[in-house]
Amino acid sequence: MDYQKILNTIYEELSHIDLQGEVASYIPELAKVDPRKFGMHLYVGKGEHFCFGDSTEKFSIQSISKVFTLTIAMQLLGENVWERVDVEPSGDPFNSLTQLEYENGIPRNPFINAGALVICDILVSNYEDPKKELLSFVRKITQDENINYDHKIAASEKSTGFRNIALVNYMKALGNIKNDVEPIVDFYFHQCSLAMSCEELAKAFMIYANNGKMLETGEKILSRTKTKRINALMQTCGFYDEAGEFSFEVGLPGKSGVGGGIVAIHPDQYSVAVWNPILNQKGNSELGMAALEKLTTMTGLSIF
């Protein structure tokens, strides 16, 4: 398969199309990102990789970080994680409060904000310094010591993050939050601010494409069962209330973030990350989805 040729075609066909959406602005710092940025990076087995455009430029990974924190929580608690958070698609916007009321504070899944905040609570309970743990996990799976938080983005989100603070308070009132609100949201705003490039994200996500094993060292990070569960959640819940559409168009497990990044994997085949900051109405990168649709069509490699 000539992956580079396929990526070049995707770039040629998509880099000049008109987009309808807008860059996320509810986190003020994100509104400053150049909307023309467009990059894609694909890793296959044995460390071969292919790319185009701004694929080595770092951006705010936002909700993509929820896959990393879930992975750590599953390593810590195993199946007990599911006592605190469910595994069903929500069909509601990612920051919705409504389902929590009639579902007694148990979030639908770990990739909506409420669920990710419960996962933060688990990490805060288990680690003295969860920010340091998350960083060392991400640095390990990318083999890159330079990955870091963007403190400006974290502070920017904190200044407007009232809904997330409300979600934690609400779940605390309903008994599903154990720690104080402040360290949980501080950790959450930092995890969302992680700055990574498409290249780094595609490399990190190879553990999910590779049965839980690191590409370079072969070290087992996750069991086969946990990898299967995380991939299933990415498939059913990774794209806000557009998970069905993403499955329909692209056909891969993946996760998006409001920074405009999307990462997707094909078990045993590849891991791919794409970035353009313009989001559609559901909060997913418009160009990113189009690029991934072309990738699975041209390679014939979706999971369906």
| Residue 70 beta carbon to ligand GLU: minimum distance, rounded to whole angstroms | 14
Told to check if 96 binds ligand GLU by CB under 6 A, we report: no
CA nearest neighbour of 52 among 34, 66, 40:
40
Candidates 9, 75, 95, 211: give the one binding ligand GLU (CB under 6 A): 95
The shares of helix, strand and coil residues in the chain, as percent rounded to the nearest 5, are 50, 15, 35
Candidates 253, 254, 257, 260: give the one binding ligand GLU (CB under 6 A): 257
Rounded-to-integer distance, Cα 81 and Cα 106, Å: 11
Q: Which CB sits closer to ligand GLU, 156 or 269?
A: 156
Site for ligand GLU in 164-183 (CB under 6 A): 164
Residue 234: both structure tokens together: 């990415």
Q: Which residues of 107-117 are buried (b: 16+ CB within 10 A; e: fewer)?
A: bbbbbbbbbbb
Told to check if 150 binds ligand GLU by CB under 6 A, we report: no
Told to check if 100 binds ligand GLU by CB under 6 A, we report: no
| Residue 169 beta carbon to ligand GLU: minimum distance, rounded to whole angstroms | 15
Cα-flanking dihedrals φ and ψ of residue 217, to 5°? -95, -15
Q: Give residues with Cβ within 8 angstroms of 67, minimum separation 6.
A: 111, 205, 208, 230, 234, 255, 263
Told to check if 43 binds ligand GLU by CB under 6 A, we report: no
Told to check if 29 binds ligand GLU by CB under 6 A, we report: no
Candidates 100, 120, 192, 295: give the one binding ligand GLU (CB under 6 A): 192
| Residue 73 beta carbon to ligand GLU: minimum distance, rounded to whole angstroms | 17
